[in-house]
Amino acid sequence: MKRTTTTIHTSATIKSGVLPSQFFMVLSIVCCGLFSMTAVDMSAQAISTTAPADPISTEDYPGTKWMSPADYASVLSTEQSNTATKLANPNLGQVELGLYTGYARMITYMQDDLNNHSAIGEIAFKSYKRVVSETPADPILKHMYPKDFQILYDALLPKLIRS
């Protein structure tokens, strides 16, 4: 016996949609499960390939180790004498005269702050800022280039740090 379906039976099966909706529901659950297993596997592989690192300690942070006040003063006096030698040159132009005058003034301010027992780490920056603020009103300093003065200041700092 051959079974035939009428159009009424076929249309009833399609309208109910039992088979297609269950199929897509199961398919979406299987896909989500496979995706989550793949993601977990990939993250586990990434975690296992990174090398363990030492814990970071804020107590061991090196920071800047400034010289002792006596060594600091020694460096400043050496810089002061080198600058005095350069200022003694009669052929200095206005730019160089302003630059080395500002540098000598900064070193003098640093020596005064050191004698007044100011914080070692703040002496250089405070003196640098003081000379920069005096520059526009000073007839000699106004000729120096601020970048050149910054270069001299940056070259001085490593000399004041303990090695």
Q: Do 154 and 74 have their domain in common? A: yes
pLDDT in tens, 118-135: 888 899 999 999 999 999
Q: Is the pTM value of this prediction over 0.85?
A: no
Query: For residues 128 and 109, what is the distance between their CA atoms, to the nearest angstrom?
Result: 9
Q: Do 29 and 105 have their domain in common? A: no
Supply the pLDDT for residue 79: 95
Q: Do 107 and 155 have their domain in common? A: yes
More confident residue, 99 or 57: 99
Q: Do 28 and 79 have their domain in common? A: no
Measuring CA to CA, which residue among 55, 126, 53, 111 is closest to residue 79? 111
Range of the domain at 34: 16-47
Supply the pLDDT for residue 74: 94
Give the pair of three-digit tokens for residue 134: 């005096």
Q: Do 106 and 37 have their domain in common? A: no
Measuring CA to CA, which residue among 117, 108, 24 is closest to residue 69? 117
Supply the pLDDT for residue 2: 61
Domain count, the chain: 2
Does 104 map to a domain? Answer: yes
Mean pLDDT of 85-110: 95
Mean pLDDT of 6-27: 60
Q: Do 34 and 108 have their domain in common? A: no
